[in-house]
Structure 1
Amino acid sequence: MDQTKRQLTLLFVCTGNTCRSPMAQTIARTLLEEQGRKGIQVLSAGTFAWKESPASLQARQVMLAQGLNLEDHRATTITEAQLQQADIILTMTQNQKELLLEMATDDTTRAKIFTLREFTGDSGDIADPFGQDETVYYQCYKELQASIANAINRIQM
């Protein structure tokens, strides 16, 4: 095996980087670890994040109930450099995808941007649970888990 092989970077993007994308990041990292897959770096960012905001309380509670930890997460806003450096960029909604397509400065970057569901061959958005109760966050978690499992299976390394 070539030890110089570059790591693949998977970037999840939502709006505030306090609910869906950090949940997606943690789910993806966990699934990759469970599958023994190495060489994939998983990151998250938001289109309009309040820098250094923690994950929402409900997101932390739902993830903790699944044995996953978001306590150390701090929100970051997406940058053009992150778009260029990522190999696959998955948004939660079509609107977020369109915003990133406008932000991207070249066709190579634009070609890496998909909605999560589009990447897996499905359609529709992952609804934002922000400000709702844990039941809605749990439903979001289940949707993310299913879509991310499919997405990871599509990534060949």
Structure 2
Amino acid sequence: MTDRSTKPSILVVCTGNICRSAMADVILTDRAAKRGLDVVIDSAGISDEEAGNPIDDRAQRVLRDAGYEIPWHAARQVKSGELADYDLVLAMTDRHRAALYRIAERDGVGADNIRMWREFDPSLPEGTPVGTDLDVPDPWYGGHEDFLDTLEVVEGAADNVLDAVTDAR
């Protein structure tokens, strides 16, 4: 197990950990490696309904087509007590963020490290308030184009996410 206390660390969270957060995990890992950054990157879901499942086949396809290696992945639920272990915990939707706040409160830890993925999206106007719809689109109920849209949003913010966590150290 990697010691998160010595390296910048990121946890990305969506619903089941098979689409959005898993895609972000793959993209962040790829970008960090290409930039020579030693960053701990992980992903999880707020639900356990997909626990143990691989990245959704449709997400794998768009990632592979975009040139990413598809790692072994087993979806998992956010564990009690782990939020404080990460420098940055990124929610894919406001609903995910609310769930993460509840977990942090239940665990008795601060929530200053919990942010929205799209807060780092350079295509949004600077100063876009967090109360604005910052949800990363959920491709689950859609088709191939929906997964491509999600890929675009996730890729768009990835470098800024890495900059934020490495600059903070």
TM > 0.5 fold call: yes
| Structure 1 counterpart SS, 2:43 | strand
Partner in structure 2 of residue 24 of structure 1: 24
Does the CA contact (< 8 Å) of 2:18 and 2:55 recur in 1? yes
Does the CA contact (< 8 Å) of 1:53 and 1:75 recur in 2? yes
| Structure 1 counterpart SS, 2:140 | coil
Partner in structure 2 of residue 106 of structure 1: 108
| 1:34-70: CA deviation from partner (whole Å, max 9, x where unpaired) | 11112x1000000013210111110010011112133
Partner in structure 2 of residue 91 of structure 1: 91
Does the CA contact (< 8 Å) of 2:26 and 2:71 recur in 1? no
Partner in structure 1 of residue 119 of structure 2: 118
Kindly state the Cα deviation for residue 25 of structure 1 after the two structures are TM-superposed.
0.5
| 1:47-102: CA deviation from partner (whole Å, max 9, x where unpaired) | 01321011111001001111213351110000122212112100101110011101
Partner in structure 1 of residue 58 of structure 2: 58
Q: Does 1:46 align with 2:48?
A: no
Partner in structure 2 of residue 67 of structure 1: 67
Gap regions ≥5 residues in structure 1: none
2:141 and 2:135 map into 1 onto residues whose CA distance is: 18
Kindly state the Cα deviation for residue 131 of structure 1 after the two structures are TM-superposed.
2.9
Alignment TM-score, normalising by the size of structure 1: 0.88
| 1:112-153: CA deviation from partner (whole Å, max 9, x where unpaired) | 111111255655110110132111101100110011122212
Gap regions ≥5 residues in structure 2: 122-126
Partner in structure 2 of residue 140 of structure 1: 150
What amino acid is aligned across from residue 114 of structure 1 in structure 2?
R
1:114 and 1:66 map into 2 onto residues whose CA distance is: 26
1:13 and 1:126 map into 2 onto residues whose CA distance is: 11
Does the CA contact (< 8 Å) of 1:23 and 1:70 recur in 2? no
| Structure 2 counterpart SS, 1:96 | helix
1:151 and 1:24 map into 2 onto residues whose CA distance is: 10
Does the CA contact (< 8 Å) of 2:16 and 2:51 recur in 1? no
Count, aligned residues: 151
1:71 and 1:37 map into 2 onto residues whose CA distance is: 18
| Structure 2 counterpart SS, 1:68 | coil
Partner in structure 2 of residue 128 of structure 1: 138
Does the CA contact (< 8 Å) of 2:52 and 2:75 recur in 1? yes
1:139 and 1:119 map into 2 onto residues whose CA distance is: 17
